[in-house]
Amino acid sequence: MKLFKLLIFISCFSGFMSANSGYLKITNSEANKDWSFLPEIPSSFDTSSDTNYEFFFVKREFGLLIARSEFELNVARANEPKKVKLSAQKNKYEIFYFISPQSALSFAIKDQLSDRQFIDCYSFGSLIIGTCDSSDLIISNSNAQYADLNGSILLIDGRNESKALNYNFALDSFAADEIVIGLEQTKNQYFWITPLEGITSNFILNINVGGSSLGSLIDSTLKSLPQRTSWTTNQINMTIKKEFKLAYDPFSFFYEASALYIDHGDYVSATSLPNSNFKLTSGIKLKYEALDISFYGSFFQNNLLGFEPIAVNQRTENYFTQNFGSLGFEIKYNF
């Protein structure tokens, strides 16, 4: 279906392409807990996918890139909520100015918005609160501010907006064909509501659960939810790209190495969030006329830190000291 959409897009722009140069590209990467050959992943991880649609064209000394990506992460836990799904859409617009045939400056704007997560039940030790079949206690609040919950115990959504300035330059080197150096600033904002924070009954708050009061367990859980006040991160990015021709002419080997340093600004870390990450992508590319078809694998040193801002918050930050990996393909039509 995704490939069909790409082909329709190509046909619609065929007249435009004849007068300009550029490309259309679709990229898809996947990860699954059952793939034992990938780096060790968190025990609660189930699957993830990232699909990116990209359109780029150049006219004289200017270029424009328009991209949209769809990110999905599925988590399976032993306790409630047992299944958690994060879905987010990202839009990117980038303008290029070519200083010379070998170098360019670009300015990019990105925004990422997650779908609302509705959680019906939450475990507090051996006690389950919510509206699922296994719940021991149902807590609700008729206050208008909780109307959007629709019976759920917790609602979470988030978004972020980024601005980036990049310098791209081409090389004739054994180690690199292209280097990109950039500065990026991202503003992050989360929103969540739950009737748990409105409990005032001492009878409920003093319920003994495994030796602790329910009130203290709720307080601990609320502190682990995403930060409600916005925070701004600043990061330095560097990417090196290289492609090697193989003996059989249509095929080539390529790699793309990315490193970043990130200042988390006003983010309040519950543990110790890393301030750097490294990503290595490598694979095989087949060139056939105007088409480039690639198959590749990616390795992340500190999970998706700095690459998927929507995934980083107080609920998830303990996973960002762990490796992550994915497999993917790319289809690129050059015009």
At residue 266, the pLDDT reads: 95
Inter-residue contact 251 to 291 (CB < 8 Å): no
Does pLDDT of 9 surpass 80?
A: no
Torsion of CA 96, 99, 101, 106, to 10 degrees: -20
19: pLDDT strictly greater than 60: no
Q: Which pLDDT value is given to residue 239?
A: 98
Q: What is the rounded CA–CA span in Å between residue 249 and residue 253?
A: 11
Q: Classify the C-alpha dihedral 313-319-320-326 as positive or negative.
A: negative
pLDDT average, residue stretch 201-225: 92
The pLDDT confidence band at residue 280, using thresholds 50, 70 and 90, is very high
Pair of tokens at residue 23: 């490309």
* Amino acid residing at 84: V
Q: How far is it, in rounded angstroms, from Cα 137 to Cα 208?
A: 13
- Please say whether the beta carbons of 120 and 128 come within 8 A: no
Q: What's the CA gap between 314 and 268, in Å, rounded?
A: 8
pLDDT exceeds cutoff 70 at 12:
no
Average pLDDT over residues 258-273: 94
**Residue 79 and residue 60: Cα distance in Å, rounded?**
58
Does the pLDDT at position 6 exceed 50?
no
Statement: residue 46 has pLDDT above 60: yes
| Two tokens, residue 270 | 């519950």
Decide if pLDDT at 64 tops 60: yes
Least confident of 83-87, 171-175, 278-282: 171-175
Q: How confident is the model at residue 141 (pLDDT cuts 50, 70, 90)?
A: confident
Range of the domain at 254: 2-334
Instruction: Return the minimum-mean-pLDDT range out of 17-31, 108-122, 206-220.
Output: 17-31
**Distance between CA atoms of 134 and 146, rounded to whole angstroms?**
22
Residue range 93-101: average pLDDT?
97
- Our count of domains for the chain comes to 1
Between residues 78 and 28, the one the model is more confident about: 28
Structure confidence at residue 13 as a pLDDT band (50, 70, 90): very low
The overall average pLDDT reported for the chain is 92
pLDDT digits (tens, 9 = 90+) for 286-324: 999 999 999 999 999 999 999 999 999 999 998 999 999
Where residue 271 sits, what CATH number does that domain have?
A: 2.40.128.130
pLDDT per residue over 215-257, tens digit each?
Answer: 999 999 999 999 999 999 999 999 999 999 998 889 999 999 9
pLDDT digits (tens, 9 = 90+) for 156-187: 999 999 999 999 999 989 999 999 999 999 99
Contacts (Cβ under 8 Å, ≥6 apart) of 14:
none
> In what helix (H) or strand (E) does residue 157 lie, and over which residues does it extend?
strand 154-170
pLDDT for the residue 292: 97
What SS3 class is residue 128? strand
Give, in order, the Cα–Cα distances in Å from 152 to each of 139, 192, 304, 308: 10, 12, 29, 27
Query: Would you state the pLDDT for residue 15?
Result: 46
Per-residue pLDDT at 236: 98
How much is the pTM?
0.89
